[in-house]
Structure 1
Amino acid sequence: MTAPATRSLLALAASAFVVLAAEPLYLLVDTAVVGHLASRALAGLGVGAALMGLLTVVGTFVEYGTTSRAARWYGAGRLDAAVGEGVQATWLAAGIGLVVVAVGEVLAGPLTSALAGSASTQHAAESWFRIAVLGMPGVLVVLAGNGWMRGVQRTREPVWIVVAANAASAVLCPLLVFPAGLGLEGSAVANVAAQIVGAALFVRALRRATSDLRPDRSVMRSQLVVGRDLMLRSAAFQVAFLTAAGVASRMGTAQIAAHQIGLQLWEFTALLLDSFAIAAQSLVGAALGAAEASAARTLARRVATWGLYAGVGFGALYAAGWVVVPRLFTSSAAVQHQASVLWPWFVAMLPAAGVVFALDGVLIGAGDVRFLRTITVVGAVGAFAPLNLAALHWHWGLTGVWAGLTAFVVVRLVGMVWRTRGSAWVVTGVGS
């Protein structure tokens, strides 16, 4: 890999790092604010947030699928077609988002009842979720905007758009929860506000990039083909994580509250580690679009190395904060104790997770989404979910739940290292 390519990798990763950090940082603020209301409110937020993640599955492809498709056009010298992918992804995002809102409102009660371990947790979760789900069209439009901008290697605009929207919401959240007296529902209102602002700014950026905003069904159909496997991959994630939330909720209020803290920190760290994956999506897609197979292979090795370094670094930071970090999110001694149970697993898996997320990006950028779908389903259904259910049956507590998450990471690590050492993923040229 040439020095300029290395600089491009780090520049894209740095931009993605800031963008990815903005949303989970807001969620961490949200968790910390709600955590000082009561354990019931934090448990409700945990269940509600898990459901929001499930509904987001249907629009995952508008981000990652758009990045890989736009990057190939960009590498082939077709900027107009690359931006056109963003236009069609935005139309899809808005339409899917409206459907998700309708489905979410209809099923809010049954879904929260299925996950919550008590009536009080269910009531809190449903109240939060019914408000938060209104922001789903905005969530998906933001994902589409990030997708096409990464594909054409525009790194600055997504940073200021996402940071501005989420910073405003992070300020709004504590004001609505406490002085305004809205409690848990105030955090949901602040969440929706961030998504609306972010979506409006990304649409404005798209209008500045092209004058052709007409929907194109043929491009949308091609995006949906890629999206099918990405949605199945994401569904496998959500089934496993929802199983974990349901199991932890049935273990007790302290367990689900501690699991929520650990999961938010995990998702925050995962998204930051994912910055190398997003850089890989863009650069690998562009390299293959330009028929530079050797450059794509070099990028795969380099991004996996950077992912490992980052995973080790985060693991060391969380190990040092073993006692201090959980106390930032809760004053409950019982919840703090349960957080200490899951902490060793959380720290130990991070180096492997860094490599896994990096190689995820390589294979998404290459369009090798069928393999990603398969290895994710195997890890989720064959390792993560069974260990969660075993933890409930044999009373292993959060140790069993987080052992399941660790096994999920290890299964994917083995599969993706094996895949990227081969040549099946190296397909050059521009697809349909």
Structure 2
Amino acid sequence: MILTRRMVITQAWPIILGQSLVPLVGLADATIIGRTGDAAALAGVALGATVINLVFWSFGFLRMGVTGLTAQAWGAGDDDEIVALVARALLIGFGIGVALLLISPLLISPILAILHVPANSLAPARSFTMLRFFGAPAALAFYSINGWLIGLGQTRLALACQLAMNIVNIVCDLVLVAICHLGAAGVGIGTALADWVALFTGICAVRSILRLRPSAGRAWRVRTILSRQALRRLFSVNLDIMVRTVAILALFSWLSRAGARLGTVPLAANHLLMQLVGISAFVLDGFAFTAEQRVGVAIGARSRPALWRAIRLTAEFSLAGAAIFSCLFLVGGRVLVDFVSTAPPVRAEADRMLLYCALVPLVGMPSWLLDGIFIGATRGKALKYAAITALVGYLATDFMMRGAGNDGVWTALLASYIYRAAALALGFPALLRLTSPSIAMDDFSMTGAGQGR
């Protein structure tokens, strides 16, 4: 079946809605804390969220790698592998989450020290971060389920899980912060509870799909799930994606550190604007995720025309969406900033940086879409090298622009997107070769995808 624009929209809109709710929850957290007028608490939650993102999303390959592998298995017609993949990834994700919870007391203080948290924000940052780790097993296990659902094109079920998680998160924040006055700790508790709700709803979604697959019983056997060859394939694909994710998280962690270096007010203002950036990035990820699934299926079927069509149609929608967000931020960004924060210095600094914020969707869109394309193709090494290139380039730009204050911070961020997109573009010829009929399925799954030759 030839991919159409209607099919892209049908598949993308649940992801867009679900993804848009992710930064909206962060925006709700910032609003609830911000409207107390406590800039130190807001900065503490911002830095605590940076720690959690750095640690949790280091294992984001549990979502990204599973999406590409599942889509490729679907394109190749391998039902047994489709079923076994979710069990394999769930087991790994939950195990890693438990390990993170156990070692979290050893991680929090060193990471907060590296971020140079202002003294008045240290206590709220530590309490928020400690409580968030109680959701680690559920969060990482849900990454696997979410990636599997997207890989199968089951975006409406993925949306249902996301809605359940976000509704619980916001309700808990309102109760624990606005009513019980628990501050940053209340935000941490609410988000951890929401992680467990997401895992429960995700398992229900998986069960509803497996009931329709007669091969589910055979694929759920321990021998199948723990197949040495299958596990080797999963880790070979995901190791490079993990390095890629760590590099990008390090970049954004340094961005928070750069804001903290300038003081509490720039840090809080940048955090508010990054919520807007997050909204645009997560919404446009709807098309990037669609590209992941469609590219994966095309490669699994070894169809170059399907690959090109998936790339072209998702790029059209991504560019249009980026332009719309840039205009919205320019026109309405100041109103949103004034609503979120009541602190005049934070409002003034955020208003001054609004133009940079509006440029991010247009400048960042190519790298976001290319990420989706390469993830769907499971080209881990290309993703890794592009992220490292972006990180090194960003750090160099940041050091050169330090004299420019917060303007330099945002200029370095914009430059990092350009570095990443350019590096990924260099890997395009190798990606196209994956649709060659002369390449065996096992070859590009085990080596081409995992090592990015």
- TM-score in terms of structure 1 length: 0.94
Secondary structure at the aligned position of 1:331 is classed as coil
Shift of 1:118: 2.0
Tell me, yes or no, if the aligned pair for 2:8 and 2:313 is still in contact at 8 Å: no
- Which whole-Å CA distance do the structure 1 matches of 2:69 and 2:154 have between them? 15
Is residue 402 of structure 2 the alignment partner of residue 388 of structure 1?
no
Is residue 77 of structure 2 the alignment partner of residue 77 of structure 1?
yes
- CA offsets, 1:321-371, max 9 Å, x none? 132121122111111111123211111231232222112111111122211
Matches within 5 A, 1:322-361: 322-361=333-372
**Structure 1: runs of 5+ lacking an equivalent:** none
Shift of 1:416: 3.2
What's 1:289 paired with?
Answer: 300
Tell me, yes or no, if the aligned pair for 1:20 and 1:275 is still in contact at 8 Å: yes
Aligned length: 427
Shift of 1:213: 6.3
Tell me, yes or no, if the aligned pair for 1:79 and 1:152 is still in contact at 8 Å: no
What's 2:418 paired with?
Answer: 410
Tell me, yes or no, if the aligned pair for 1:353 and 1:409 is still in contact at 8 Å: yes
Is residue 396 of structure 2 the alignment partner of residue 397 of structure 1?
no
Secondary structure at the aligned position of 1:178 is classed as helix
Shift of 1:31: 1.0
Tell me, yes or no, if the aligned pair for 1:288 and 1:296 is still in contact at 8 Å: yes
Matches within 5 A, 1:108-187: 108-187=108-187
Shift of 1:250: 1.9
What's 1:97 paired with?
Answer: 97
- Which whole-Å CA distance do the structure 1 matches of 2:62 and 2:7 have between them? 23
What's 2:54 paired with?
Answer: 54
Q: Which amino acid aligns with 1:411?
A: Y
Change (3 A) 1:425 1:97: farther
What's 1:11 paired with?
Answer: 10
Secondary structure at the aligned position of 1:328 is classed as helix
- TM-score in terms of structure 2 length: 0.90
Tell me, yes or no, if the aligned pair for 1:92 and 1:220 is still in contact at 8 Å: no
Change (3 A) 1:333 1:346: same
Tell me, yes or no, if the aligned pair for 1:281 and 1:362 is still in contact at 8 Å: yes
Q: Which amino acid aligns with 2:12?
A: A
Amino-acid identity (%): 25
Tell me, yes or no, if the aligned pair for 2:295 and 2:307 is still in contact at 8 Å: yes
Secondary structure at the aligned position of 1:116 is classed as coil
Tell me, yes or no, if the aligned pair for 2:12 and 2:155 is still in contact at 8 Å: no
Secondary structure at the aligned position of 2:157 is classed as helix
- Which whole-Å CA distance do the structure 2 matches of 1:425 and 1:64 have between them? 20
- CA offsets, 1:275-303, max 9 Å, x none? 11100111111111112122102211222
**Structure 2: runs of 5+ lacking an equivalent:** 211-215, 436-440, 447-453
What's 2:189 paired with?
Answer: 189
What's 2:213 paired with?
Answer: none
Change (3 A) 1:132 1:342: same
Across the aligned residues of Structure 1 and Structure 2, the Cα RMSD in angstroms comes to 1.8
My pick for the range that moved more, 404-413 or 210-219, is 210-219
Secondary structure at the aligned position of 2:123 is classed as helix
Q: Which amino acid aligns with 1:282?
A: Q
Q: Which amino acid aligns with 2:132?
A: A
Shift of 1:45: 0.7
- CA offsets, 1:79-123, max 9 Å, x none? 331122111111111011112222322221222122134222122
Q: Which amino acid aligns with 2:335?
A: V
- CA offsets, 1:48-100, max 9 Å, x none? 01111110233111101001001011011123311221111111110111122
- Which whole-Å CA distance do the structure 1 matches of 2:6 and 2:80 have between them? 25
What's 2:63 paired with?
Answer: 63
- CA offsets, 1:8-41, max 9 Å, x none? 3222211211221222211111111111230000
Q: Which amino acid aligns with 2:7?
A: S
- Which whole-Å CA distance do the structure 2 matches of 1:269 and 1:181 have between them? 31
- Which whole-Å CA distance do the structure 1 matches of 2:250 and 2:359 have between them? 23
- CA offsets, 1:217-252, max 9 Å, x none? 522332111111111111111111111111211211
Change (3 A) 1:88 1:120: same
Tell me, yes or no, if the aligned pair for 2:277 and 2:360 is still in contact at 8 Å: no
Change (3 A) 1:52 1:412: same
Q: Which amino acid aligns with 1:113?
A: A
Change (3 A) 1:28 1:213: farther
Tell me, yes or no, if the aligned pair for 1:262 and 1:339 is still in contact at 8 Å: yes
What's 1:427 paired with?
Answer: 434
Shift of 1:373: 1.1
Shift of 1:316: 0.7
- Which whole-Å CA distance do the structure 2 matches of 1:401 and 1:202 have between them? 38
Tell me, yes or no, if the aligned pair for 1:76 and 1:290 is still in contact at 8 Å: yes
Change (3 A) 1:297 1:391: same
Change (3 A) 1:122 1:386: farther
- Which whole-Å CA distance do the structure 2 matches of 1:351 and 1:73 have between them? 33
Shift of 1:414: 2.6
